[in-house]
């Protein structure tokens, strides 16, 4: 699994002009799932993100997690995170999981994040054409890949 995590002041995802998910301060998570991903990736990534200390404390240091500040999370599936640009100019998405693998893992990730945070998260819709709007706070953007554990 590959995730792009953005600390946001606010973010939303719309489908056909209608807002599907909307948050204030928190994290926008763009999530890419590959064929080799498992439930272990789901659990590791959710735990890592929920405890990631990227929010400012009283001294202005990034020392608090989304869990600690009781903030919001918006999760959007994005298969293009597994694009390979090694050959040619047209990205290949061969490593991106097919829907029969990706959808259950995407849903499992949402459920795991909700368990780890102790509250519901907002989402887009898997496979839909979505418009994502955000105000990146900082800016702070972190990329995590479960295969590299970084």
Each residue's pLDDT tens digit, 114-133: 999 999 999 999 999 999 99
The 10s digit of each residue's pLDDT in 1-29 is 999 999 999 999 999 999 999 999 999 99
List the domain boundaries for the chain: 2-145
The 10s digit of each residue's pLDDT in 25-63 is 999 999 999 999 999 999 999 999 999 999 999 999 999
Catalytic residue (choose from 6, 55, 79, 146): 79
Give me the mean pLDDT over the 75-90 stretch: 92
For 117-136, give one letter per residue: b (16+ CB within 10 A) or e: beeebbbbebeeebebebee
Is 85 one of the catalytic residues?
no
Catalytic residue (choose from 6, 78, 112, 122): 78
Token pair belonging to 13: 């995802």
Give the integer Cα–Cα distance in Å for 114 and 71.
Answer: 12
Is 55 one of the catalytic residues?
no
CATH number corresponding to 2-145: 3.50.80.10
Angle at 103 between CA 36 and CA 20, to 5 degrees: 135
Give me the mean pLDDT over the 99-112 stretch: 97
Is 122 one of the catalytic residues?
no
* Contact criterion met (CB below 8 Å) for 140 and 61: no
């Amino acid at each position: 699994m590959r995730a792009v995590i953005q600390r946001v002041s606010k973010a939303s995802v719309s489908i056909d002009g209608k807002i599907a998910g909307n948050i204030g301060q928190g994290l926008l998570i763009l999530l890419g799932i590959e064929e080799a991903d498992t439930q272990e990736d789901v659990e590791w990534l959710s735990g890592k993100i929920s405890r990631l200390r990227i929010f400012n404390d009283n001294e202005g240091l990034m020392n608090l997690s989304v869990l600690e500040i009781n903030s919001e999370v918006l999760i959007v599936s994005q298969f293009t995170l597994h694009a390979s640009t090694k050959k040619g100019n047209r990205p290949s998405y061969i490593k991106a999981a097919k829907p029969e693998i990706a959808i259950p893992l995407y849903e499992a990730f949402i459920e795991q994040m909700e368990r780890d945070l102790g509250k519901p998260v907002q989402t887009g819709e898997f496979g839909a054409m979505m418009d994502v709007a955000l105000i990146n706070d900082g800016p702070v953007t972190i990329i995590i890949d479960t295969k590299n554990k970084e």
